[in-house]
Amino acid sequence: MVLPPETQLLPEVEPYATHSIDVGDGHTLYVEEVGNPAGIPAVFLHGGPGGGLAPFMRRFFDPARYRIVLFDQRGAGRSTPLGSLHNNTTWHLVADIETIRRRLGISAWLVFGGSWGSALALAYAETHPAAVTGLILRGICLVRAAEREWVYQRGLDRLQPEEWQRFIEPIPPTERDDILAAYHRRLLGPDPDEARKCADAWMRWEAIMSTLVPDPALIDSLTADETVLPAARILADYAVNGGFFTPETQLLDDIDRIRHIPGVIIQGRYDQCCPPITAYDLATRWPEADFQMVPAAGHASLEPAITARLIAATNDFADRLT
């Protein structure tokens, strides 16, 4: 991924350790550790689902102060088998995070998640609150029906009409009453050419709504190679299944389990992918959290104003947790 020149990330850093962790169910996860082995433990949860890691994701934390753990979730990135939907649900991922924590001998850690990663962070924290020292959440996603309808049926099409037409073009008019289900059938279907065509269209739509201004480099990176179909398959499966939350308000309903944990909610005012109402609903149910609505910003963590807030949050937590 090509980074915008104005993005003020922390300096590049390489892992000091990598691991291949068998979590059962036929899945093996790629895990890396970055920064100071004696530093404050933190875990980074990537978006998607199915998105995988990129090197810039290491650069939101001061490597002198943090021991940063990053991993590719089931079926994503360098985890294997790539694109597998077998035993791949939110609750499998929650168990994987706990497996990694225990395997690495970490008693508790700061949890950082953006977009889908914010939902996974909440699910993990609500399941294992004693293992969480703090939460940094960006671009809030709760996978509720209204959020999915906004992106995949009616809502965002009003803001991106020409791109919406490109997105729905692979779906016959007779099936457009449920675009998400129609895509899911094709992405998981037997025709590899149709599946790849739909994956390219799906991931272009993801790229378009991820930035305030369309980013050609991001579009190219999300539609570039054979990872496109595995990523789209996982994302569509989680979306069709509502993130595997029952009821759909599960993350909000269980928020009392974590209200004692320090938290920061960072939300772009003009986030097309995860509209601000979702972050507002979370902050309303979690008034103790530091809710930051970022003006003139969209969804992506690499938008300069979002990047600055995220790094300020990790620096603040480093001061608190030292």
- Per domain, the residue ranges of the chain are 17-144+244-321, 145-242
What is the spatial distance between Cα 10 and Cα 79, in angstroms, rounded to a whole number?
Answer: 26
What is the spatial distance between Cα 151 and Cα 206, in angstroms, rounded to a whole number?
Answer: 9
What is the spatial distance between Cα 139 and Cα 262, in angstroms, rounded to a whole number?
Answer: 18
- Which segments of the chain does DSSP mark as H helices, in order? 90-103, 116-127, 145-152, 161-168, 179-187, 192-210, 216-222, 228-240, 250-253, 276-285, 304-321
- Residues classed as catalytic: 115, 271, 299
Find the distance separating the first CA and the last CA of the chain, reported in whole Å: 33
What is the spatial distance between Cα 242 and Cα 164, in angstroms, rounded to a whole number?
Answer: 22
CA distances from 104 to 114, 134, 152 (A): 23, 19, 39
Per-residue pLDDT of the chain (322 residues), as tens digits, is 555 555 689 999 999 999 999 999 999 999 999 999 999 999 999 999 999 999 999 999 999 999 999 999 999 999 999 999 999 999 999 999 999 999 999 999 999 999 999 999 999 999 999 999 999 999 999 999 999 999 999 999 999 999 999 999 999 999 999 999 999 999 999 999 999 999 999 999 999 999 888 878 777 777 777 789 999 999 999 999 999 999 999 999 999 999 999 999 999 999 999 999 999 999 999 999 999 999 999 999 999 999 999 999 999 999 999 9
**pTM greater than 0.75:** yes
Q: What is the CATH code for 17-144+244-321?
A: 3.40.50.1820
Phi, psi of 282 (to 5 degrees): -65, -45
